[in-house]
Structure 1
Amino acid sequence: MQQPVAGDRSTAIPSLYPSQASLTPGSHCTPRISEDPEWSLATVPHLTELCLQHIADNFEKNPILDCLLPEHQKKVLDRLSTSLPLAVTANLVSDEDYWKRCCTERWQVCDVASYGDSWKRMFFERHLENILKRFIPNTTDPNQVLELIPLCKDYVRKLEVDQFLPPVQVDQKEERDDPSDTESDLGFNEVSVHHYDLGGLVTALSHLEELHLTYGVKDCGMNFEWKLFNFTHQDCCNLAAAVKMCHNMKVFKLTQSKVDDDKTKLLVRNLLDHPCLVELNLSHNLIRDKGAQAVGKLINRSRLETLDLCNNQIHHLGAQALARALAENSTLTSLNLRLNYVEDKGGQAIGCALLTNTTLKSIHLGSNNLSEPTAILFSQVLVQNTTLISINFSCNHLGLDGGKQLLEGLADNKVLTEFDLRMTEVGQETEYLIHQIVWANREAARLRSLQPPTTKPL
């Protein structure tokens, strides 16, 4: 056997890189970097990027944002998940792009213009509305609302809740008696169902300016029952106390909620002398003369500019009460009494009020069983009143003579720009001539609006 020669390092020291022939199955050899044809230095992230991604991934446990540079903040916000708890993001994240992602990922239709062009406001208003629409008294945890208040109170300006679910309850006596549909429809076996009390929420939302409510259930289908649409006396008491404490509220709408005279009077008592209320909408309810008389008191004990009582059951006594208030009022600019029963006694009373009123700009008396006597009085209004720019008499029975009277009164009127006489039986020729005068007034008003304002010389 040949002995190794002294000093022969090639035979004395094992090779650092074994040859391919010496590799056995199962042995491991790490390839050098230069052996990966796809490897590039550009694929290695910068340490800054790795840190920012780590911050975004762990934002819930460690929400670092304010201490970052502005450009780094933007990168973190772009990577944040929209499913992070609101307790983390509500008062820390103000970036509109982040809240835009939150909105568009949750809702298909997002009209940010309806929310003051603020995506954050849109998110919190709609999120709160969805919770209220699905809240079931005695079943849903109240903390769902209470815990959200400190997170959203600075951003909510308007609430539109078109559904209030009643509590889940089973009246065993009713089931045994098996009442007929007729009895249920008439409310003979009505079960008292109170809805979510908005009091604590509304008073805590210090920036709330608009409240739009409908007490009912949407998409109930075959489960329809009249008690699902019952705005109870207790509901009204709770709501009245809430709106009284909502000092910044400018718009209050309570529609399609079976609000009757007693509930109207209760609401009005709590709205008297309200510091900010400028619009009240109680349309599509059950308000009769007593309720209208209460609203008449409110007109002159508030700053109301818009009043909508469309589709109620107001007759001439209620209209006369509103007319008395209108004769003394100096703030109301729009009154909607469409689809009521004011008839000529009520229509004439309103016309007399408009002979002296100098603030009302728009009045809607469509579908009120009006006829020629009301048209005759309004012909005088068209001569004397220089404030009204819109009148709607549609779907009444003014007749040919009534139309001629209105045409005569409109002859020298230069301010009326809208006059709806559809289905009033005034005759096509009269309606055409009135339309021509109104069109000329509208065109003149448009030209005046294009002229630059004149300044008085010093």
Structure 2
Amino acid sequence: MQQPVAGDRSTAIPFWYPSQGRLTPDSNCTHRIIEDPEWSLATVPHLTELCLQHIADNFEKNPILDCLLPEHQRKVLDRLSTGLPLAVTANLVSDEDYWKRRCTECWQVCDISSYGDSWKRMFFERHLESILKQFIPNTTDPNQVQELIPLCKDYVRKLEVDQFLPPVQVDQKEDLSDTESDFGFDEVSMCHYDLGALIPALPHLEELHLTYGVKDCGMNFEWKLFNFTYQDCCNLAAAVKMCLNLKVFKLTQSKVDDSKTKLLVHNLLDHPCLVELNLSHNLIGDKGAQAVAKLINHSRLETLDLCNNQIHPLGAQALAQALAENSTLTSLNLRLNYVEDKGAQAIGHALLTNTTLKSIHLGSNNLSEPTATLFSQVLVQNTTLTTINFSCNPLGLDGGKQLLKGLADNKALTEFDLRMAEVGQETEYLIHQIVWANWEAARLRSMQHPVTKPLRRKLSRE
């Protein structure tokens, strides 16, 4: 019979068989019983738990969820893999905790306040954005986007794409014909992903932020990586025209010139929902500004940002003329342009009658004393403006005194930026005191009137 080994908690039990009227041991048959001191009946999972685990493990092949009890649904959702295909989970799983797990596994920083406090919306917007940022025309399979559209269309309300990759260029023969050169062979070959196939298919899209360029190109930098071709513009213009719920459109740092601006504006005229247009950091000149001026009075625009373009007095005058007749625009940003005194004075004259604009930014536009003199009149008559920015303009000491004089009885202005405007420290201090008093009075009024709670929250944050 096998002897027990020291330290072994198993027990060898011999088996006896009758033989010739007596019991004899069978030395060839020994059963070993293993004792588990931690085993108990409580460790045996319930059949329900085994079934729920089976459902979670086989969810891709057999997605059972709606027919389960609420408490059982919760357990299955907690066990679902974040690697399941979106075709399975997109329209079936609405649980926010599940989409939170998927988001946190994909991205280190996750702030759902920018996504309507919805983890599911965040996932689909950022997932679609990442595909668009890595899409290479003529190389990437277009089905990557097309197959995602029916899965994400109900959740995407905002797209922020700050990169569009150009096609991979195949070495071309040096003896290209003149005909190919005349028809812009190179430009056509550099067109980016056509958003016209995507944007109209997103019925809830309200915000579109785009930049045509390549991020982190490093030593592979080439100017052609930052081309926003005319064909790109045609495709985009047609797409935004069909996006009837679009409220915010931003196309920045994309070398948008006058011809492209005209094309975009033509497709945005009389848009039913657009309230914010941002074409900052582009190449828009006077003709482009004239086109935008036409848009101001053929839309519901409230915010217009043309910062860092090439707008001169002629373009500023066109904007001023539109401003004089407008009743919707509340914010205009012309920082870092070339409007000069002639253009700024035209805007000032428009503000003598305009009763809608609340914020005007004319920083870094080579403005001087004549502009300050005219705006001193604006400060006397206009009771709507709350924010003026004249920073980085040589207004001079006399210009500062004129502005101080105009502010004497002004109760509306709550922010006046005169940094590096050469108005003198004393004048700047006195102006600051008046503006601060107006701000404090506005804050107290907001506390007294419950209908102004949004303003109260804004002032408290500031």
Q: TM-score scaled by structure 2?
A: 0.89
Q: Structure 2 vs 1, CA of residues 36 and 80 (structure 1 numbering), >3 Å: closer, same or farther?
A: same
Note if 1:362 corresponds to 2:367: no
Q: Structure 2 vs 1, CA of residues 451 and 228 (structure 1 numbering), >3 Å: closer, same or farther?
A: same
Task: Map 1:54-453 to 2 at 5 A.
Answer: 54-173=54-173, 192-453=189-450
- Quote the offset at 1:42 in angstroms: 1.1
Whether the 8 Å CA contact 2:187–2:229 is kept in 1: the answer is no
Query: Matches of 2:125 and 2:61 in 1, distance apart?
Result: 26
Whether the 8 Å CA contact 1:305–1:333 is kept in 2: the answer is yes
Query: Matches of 1:113 and 1:385 in 2, distance apart?
Result: 36
Whether the 8 Å CA contact 1:192–1:232 is kept in 2: the answer is no
Q: Report the residue type matching 2:153 in the other structure.
A: K
Percent identity over paired residues: 86
Query: Matches of 1:276 and 1:36 in 2, distance apart?
Result: 71
Secondary structure, aligned partner of 1:36: coil
Deviation string, structure 1 residues 389-421 (Cα, Å, up to 9, x no partner): 000000001000000000000010011000000
Whether the 8 Å CA contact 1:60–1:88 is kept in 2: the answer is yes
Note if 1:39 corresponds to 2:36: no
Secondary structure, aligned partner of 2:50: helix
- Quote the offset at 1:171 in angstroms: 3.8
Deviation string, structure 1 residues 255-306 (Cα, Å, up to 9, x no partner): 0000000000000000000000000000000000000000000000000000
Query: Matches of 1:53 and 1:174 in 2, distance apart?
Result: 64
Query: Matches of 2:174 and 2:224 in 1, distance apart?
Result: 13
Q: Which runs of 5+ in 2 are unaligned?
A: 1-16, 177-183, 452-462
Q: Report the residue type matching 2:108 in the other structure.
A: Q
Whether the 8 Å CA contact 2:188–2:229 is kept in 1: the answer is no
Tell me which stretches of 4 or more aligned residues in structure 1 moved more than 6 Å: 9-15, 187-191
- Quote the offset at 1:174 in angstroms: 5.5
Secondary structure, aligned partner of 1:277: coil
Query: Matches of 1:144 and 1:190 in 2, distance apart?
Result: 25
Query: Matches of 1:175 and 1:91 in 2, distance apart?
Result: 54
Q: Report the residue type matching 2:40 in the other structure.
A: S
The residue that corresponds to 2:459 in the other structure is none
Give the superposed CA RMSD. Answer: 2.0
Q: Report the residue type matching 1:144 in the other structure.
A: Q
- Quote the offset at 1:37 in angstroms: 1.7
Query: Matches of 2:125 and 2:174 in 1, distance apart?
Result: 39
Secondary structure, aligned partner of 1:285: coil
Q: How many residues align?
A: 428
Deviation string, structure 1 residues 52-82 (Cα, Å, up to 9, x no partner): 0000000000000000000000000000000
Deviation string, structure 1 residues 120-146 (Cα, Å, up to 9, x no partner): 000000000000000000000000000
Q: Structure 2 vs 1, CA of residues 216 and 30 (structure 1 numbering), >3 Å: closer, same or farther?
A: same
Secondary structure, aligned partner of 1:172: coil
Q: TM-score scaled by structure 1?
A: 0.90
Whether the 8 Å CA contact 1:211–1:253 is kept in 2: the answer is yes
- Quote the offset at 1:12 in angstroms: 7.4
Report the structure, 1 or 2, having the larger strand content: 2
Query: Matches of 2:270 and 2:187 in 1, distance apart?
Result: 35
